[in-house]
Structures are given as structure tokens and as C-alpha cells.
Amino acid sequence: MLDAYADRWALITGASSGIGAEFARRLASRGMHLILTARRKSMLESLAEELHTRHGTKTEIIVGDLSDPAEPQRLFEAIQAKGIAIELLVNNAGFGWVGTITETDPTRMQEMMRLNNQALVDLSYRFLPAMLERGHGGIINVSSVAAFQPVVYMPVYAASKAFVLHFSEAMWAESRDRGVTVTALCPGTTQTDFFDVANVPGWLKKHRSSTVEQVVRAAIKALERRRQVVVPGWQNRMMAFLVRIARRKMVVLQSMKFFRPRKKDDSSAK
């Protein structure tokens, strides 16, 4: 599947923190050179310095906002200009939002769909053909356990991750006999800054929360085993299974209890 880790190049989007940064650390420890992209330049530079100090691998930084429709093409062309062949693409960039219908900004939801879906599709179709031609390579698309069900108060996020899951599975089937694996990573609650950006209720941040190390370790193992989907954690896997056999009405109504937005005057959210 992967020709090798050492001296090959990986592209990681949303690499400045959380799961993306952990992918960078884990892959650099295996000898991969990295292209890191995100909006926050200072955090990327700090991570690149850390990786060089610890592992001596090459790191290229390309600052950009993938919610801009023109950015995936610009990123692709910048990498092509460097003469770098991408062996592994990690589509990690994305964000979520929890809120009622009346307090949700439609423009922000469009931005979410461009980042969570449009950019991921664009980059996949730009880099995958070269992998297929070489007969080796891989893509990890970061979805979510929310992809397995509709979620009240975060319908756009859950739907965007369902798109990522279905897209990845279809790409996996088409690519698997040509030496390339596409894996959908579907983590549950994870210890990242996602919760601060998404306005998720504070108690959920601590509820069965995985570490980024656990999530990334599971993702790489699944890629190496050529699996199309990985759901880290047995509790998350159980939930993903149960929502598929439960009545859809019950599933979506139950989600209201877990994702009800924080009230501004709620002292428990401080």
C-alpha cells in the first residue's frame, strides 16, 4: 500500500494542532517528510521546529485557508512546483458548530461545508490519480462517529461527516485493487480544541474522551491493514452499530439530550 514511510512525503491539512499535529509527530517518527498546512503560521512553525529537532525530517509549511474555494488548487500547484510526490494525504482540516436553528449563521455553515467536504474532495481528486499511477499511496479522511447518525443542533456537521464517510468508502473500493488505500477515520469525542470552536456542551468534552495519540494510532494501524473505516474505541464502535439498527426517529430525538447548546448564562459552562 504505502511504498514506505521513510523519505516519503505526507500532506496533512489542519496540521497546526490536535489530531493533525499528532499525525505529523507520528509520521515524522517513522521518517516521513511533511507538508503541513493550516491558517495559523506560528503554530505550524513551532511544530516544524519540534519535528526537525526530534526526528530530523524535512518539513514544508504552506499557510492557507482551505475554506477558500481557490485554496486546494493553490496548495496542489505549490506542491507540484516543489517537485514533491505525495505518498500519504491526511485530510484533517474541518470544524463543527453546535447551535439552534435560529442562532446559527448560514454563512458559517456554508464555510463548514466548503472546508469539511469541498476541500477534501478537491484534494483527493488532485492527489489520488498519481498514487494510482504509481501503484502505492494512501489517504486518511477524518470523519466522525457523528457520521453514522443525524445529530440535532449540529445537523450540518453530522451531515458533512456522513458525506466524508460515504465518499471515502466508495474511493476505497475503487482504489483497493490498484495498491492505494483510502481510510475514513471516525473518532468520537477527542481531547482537542474542537469543543471550544464548536460551542459543544462542556460536560461532553470529558465524556469518554479519547486522546489524539489513541486516535492517530488507530488510524495508521487501519491504513496499514487496508481498512476502509476505523472507529477508535469500543464504546464508539458499539454506538455506531446500535444507531444503525435502532429506529431513526429514536436516534435523532435521543441526540437532543447530548448536544443541547450551552446557554450564555449557564454557570456550568464557565
Residues noted as catalytic: 157, 161
| C-alpha–C-alpha distance, residues 140 and 9, integer Å | 14
Contact partners, residue 98, CB within 8 Å, separation at least 6: 153, 154, 157, 198, 199, 200, 201, 259, 261
CA distance 151 to 259: 8
Pick from 96, 84, 92, 160: which is nearest to 124 by CA?
92
Partners of residue 88 on adjacent β-strands: 10, 138
Looking only at the bridges linking them, the beta strands covering 59-63 and 33-38 are parallel
Q: SS3 of 10, please?
A: strand
Three cell numbers, residue 13: 491539512
Contact 63, 37 (CB under 8 A): yes
DSSP 262: P
